């Protein structure tokens, strides 16, 4: 069984000079390798043109069952100083130009090997770039 709480901060950039972006239903999940641990919802927001926003997510898992091999792998990584997680973010987005609203799209972001160091519960990816679908 696994217990834990983690916080992550994402920096989201819209380099476009004409379109703003509306991020609607946003769900973020945490995995250890391919093994699902937990998920959380992030509040919707609008991102203006050429804007950079910080978005925070808090995750928790309480007395959740995971296979023994997953716990063993996490304990092994912890003994070496950090545990690496994968984070997935899926958002319903719409692009806006003035009064015009474009068709909605599903945005998928995958962040590999986000490190959890120490016992603070803070995930740090540094300046890691995540892949976007």
The model's pLDDT over 23-35, given as tens digits with 9 standing for 90+, comes to: 999 999 999 999 9
Contacts 24+ apart (CB under 8 A), 67-70: 67/35, 70/2, 70/32, 70/33, 70/35
Q: Could you give the 3-state DSSP secondary structure of residue 114?
A: strand
Query: Which among 15, 42, 16, 13 has a CA at the least distance from the CA of 28?
Result: 42
Question: Does residue 49 surpass a pLDDT of 60?
Answer: yes
The CATH number that applies at residue 82 is 2.60.40
- Pairwise CA distance, residues 33 & 92, whole Å: 25
Q: Percent of the chain scored above 70 by pLDDT?
A: 91
Q: What is the mean pLDDT of the chain?
A: 87
Residue 39: which of 64, 11, 58, 22 has the closest Cα?
Answer: 58
Q: Which domain holds residue 76?
A: 2-132
Residue 5 in this model has a pLDDT that exceeds 90 = no
Mean pLDDT of 3-8: 85
Closest CA to 91 of 33, 46, 48: 46
pLDDT for position 14: 95
81-107: per-residue pLDDT in tens?
888 899 999 999 999 887 777 788 999
Question: What are the φ/ψ torsions at residue 48 (nearest 5 degrees)?
Answer: -70, 175
Strand partners, 82: 117
Domain count across the chain: 1
Stated pTM of the model: 0.83
pLDDT of 48 reads 95
Residue 101 or residue 55, greater confidence = 55
- Residue 59: predicted pLDDT: 93
């Amino acid at each position: 069984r696994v217990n834990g709480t983690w916080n992550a901060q994402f920096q989201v950039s819209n380099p476009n000079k004409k379109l703003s972006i509306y991020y609607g239903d946003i769900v973020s999940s945490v995995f250890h390798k391919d093994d699902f641990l937990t998920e959380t919802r992030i509040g919707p927001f609008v991102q203006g043109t050429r804007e950079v926003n910080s978005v925070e997510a808090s995750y928790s898992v309480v007395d959740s069952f995971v296979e023994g091999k997953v716990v063993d792998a996490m304990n092994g990584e912890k003994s070496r100083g950090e545990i690496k997680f994968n984070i997935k973010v899926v958002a319903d987005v719409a692009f806006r130009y003035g009064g015009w609203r474009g068709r909605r799209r599903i945005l998928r972001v995958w962040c590999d090997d986000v490190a959890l160091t120490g016992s603070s519960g803070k995930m740090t990816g540094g300046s890691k770039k995540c892949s976007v679908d």
